Structure 1
Amino acid sequence: MKNWKSYVTMLVVGILIGAFLFFGMVNLNIGQSEPKVTQTTVLEQLQSASDLITTDYHYSKVGRYENSLEINGWSIPLTNKYFILTYEGEVQLGIDLTKADIAVRGDTIAITLPPVEVLSNAIDEKSIEVYNESKNVFNPISVNDYKEFAIQQKEAVDKELEEKNIYEIAKENTIKSISQLLNMSDAIRDQYKLDIKFKDA
């Protein structure tokens, strides 16, 4: 009789342990198959690939720099200096992801982005070639002249970005890149819709 009771007791304990393990695995699988998507997880995913959410604009230019010494706004004769340069550069446009508003509402992830801005504008120094440079002993060309020239050229490129609607292209690229990036996640692609727009839209 004692053996029989021990057998029944062990059987009940075994069933309880098996049930516990079974329901534990079921809950674990449910938790793994439906991970929770929050504002924080979306932002972390975007920031981890922030370099991909940019637009590059390459340019190749010919520029002329010229000035002369002046007194009271009048140019001094024989002090004119100039040079002509060809060069290449690159502008990188993107957004500040820390200023993005992200909200998870039901089955929709709403992302409101800050305006696109110029992240960098760099002239490739190796591409610079100088042509027709003046040799004025009264007003020699200096390093500051080249710096001033670079500033002027970068300002000209900023206007070009507006004229060629590069900012609008960058906005389209940004939305496309973010959509592709987030949809790489099974949890987001299968369970959520994306609503991405800009604050200035």
Structure 2
Amino acid sequence: MCTDVITQADSKKYKDWKIPFTEKSFIVQYDGTVKAGIKDLTKTQVSQKGETIIVRLPEVEITGIEIDNDSFEKLDESNNIFNPITVEDLNKAQKNLKEEMYQRALEKGILDMAKSNAEEVLKGMLSGANGDYDIKFEWQ
């Protein structure tokens, strides 16, 4: 779960020149969630070597990015009669938000956390069912 504030600004342009008095901008705050895990557990392979159970798992990946639309709050808006804020601007901002959330989650180690969590959950399930076996995880 994350909460963030973003600023989006734009002006009308002619070639590479910004046209004066056509700037529009808005600042929004939102809550969002990035989820990570194993998408396809059917690709899991389990084998046994002596007293060791080897579990081969597909790599974890980001499985979803959600923005809570009810939390989307406009903090400031600078609209312009020559360049009004449109639905497309808001959609573009939301797409940019999801990309930022994706990158921030990767930087904070979400995939490593998902791996550790998957190993912990599976180890707990397998330990109870299989007694004194060592459990080894391999990621494909």
Q: TM-score, normalised by structure 1?
A: 0.63
Q: Provide the rounded CA distance (Å) in 1 between the counterparts of 2:12 and 2:58.
A: 45
Q: Helix, strand or coil for the counterpart of 1:141?
A: coil
Q: Provide the rounded CA distance (Å) in 1 between the counterparts of 2:19 and 2:117.
A: 51
Aligned twin of 2:98: 154
CA deviation vs aligned residue, 1:86-135 (integer Å, no higher than 9, x gap): 11000110013233333244443211222221100000011111011122
Seq. identity, %: 34
CA RMSD of aligned residues (A): 1.8
Aligned twin of 2:52: 108
Matched, 1:198 2:106: no
Structure with the higher strand share, 1 or 2? 2
Please say which structure displays the higher CA radius of gyration.
Answer: 1
Taking structure 1 as reference, are residues 78 and 95 closer, same or farther at Cα in structure 2, changes over 3 Å only? same
Q: Provide the rounded CA distance (Å) in 1 between the counterparts of 2:84 and 2:123.
A: 54
Matched, 1:76 2:31: no
Gapped regions of structure 2 (runs ≥ 5): none
Gapped regions of structure 1 (runs ≥ 5): 1-57
Matched, 1:89 2:38: no
Taking structure 1 as reference, are residues 75 and 168 closer, same or farther at Cα in structure 2, changes over 3 Å only? same
Amino acid at match of 1:87: Y
Aligned residue pairs, count: 139
Q: Helix, strand or coil for the counterpart of 1:157?
A: helix
Q: Provide the rounded CA distance (Å) in 2 between the counterparts of 1:92 and 1:190.
A: 32
Structure number with the bigger relative contact order (C-alpha 8 A, sep ≥ 6) is: 2
Q: Residues 13 and 19 of structure 2 are in contact (CA less than 8 Å); yes or no, is this contact kept in structure 1?
A: yes
Q: Provide the rounded CA distance (Å) in 2 between the counterparts of 1:161 and 1:59.
A: 9
